[in-house]
Structure 1
Amino acid sequence: MARTNYSYEKRQKELAKKKKKEEKKQRKIAKQEDTTEQKDDLSSSEDGSDNSLSQSI
């Protein structure tokens, strides 16, 4: 009767965890970039709004 290769299973589990952790890291980085871009867009639009108000007065 063959024995179960636990070291192979353990290695596969470790690789799966590593892959999942890397994907999570990439999502987190992408989310931070999106929020940074949105803040920049908001800052630009707010600056533009202030200029348009002063021009209309």
Structure 2
Amino acid sequence: MARTNYSFEKRQKELAKKKKQEEKLQQKLEKKKKTDDGREDAAAETEVLPSE
């Protein structure tokens, strides 16, 4: 009977955890970018309105 390779399982678990963290970070960055873009657009529109 084959023995379980715990080192391999641990490495795979670590890789999955790292991948999940990176995806989460990307989502946060995209969300922040969208929020920042929205603020810039709103600020630009507010600046245009008083000058009209």
> Same-fold call, TM > 0.5?
yes
Aligned to 2:41: 41
After superposition, the CA RMSD in angstroms is 0.8
Q: Which runs of 4+ in 1 moved over 4 A?
A: none
- Which one-letter code corresponds to 2:8 in the other structure? Y
TM superposition shift of 1:51: 1.8
**Partner Cα distance (1:22, 1:14) in 2:** 12
1:9-46 CA-to-partner distances (Å, cap 9, x unmatched) read 11000000000000111111111111111000000111
Unpaired stretches in structure 2, ≥5 consecutive residues: none
Give the structure 1 partner of residue 28 of structure 2: 28
Indicate the residue corresponding to 1:19 in structure 2: 19
The TM-score normalised by the length of structure 2 is 0.90
Q: How many residue pairs get matched?
A: 52
Q: Identity across aligned pairs (percent)?
A: 52
Larger Rg: 1
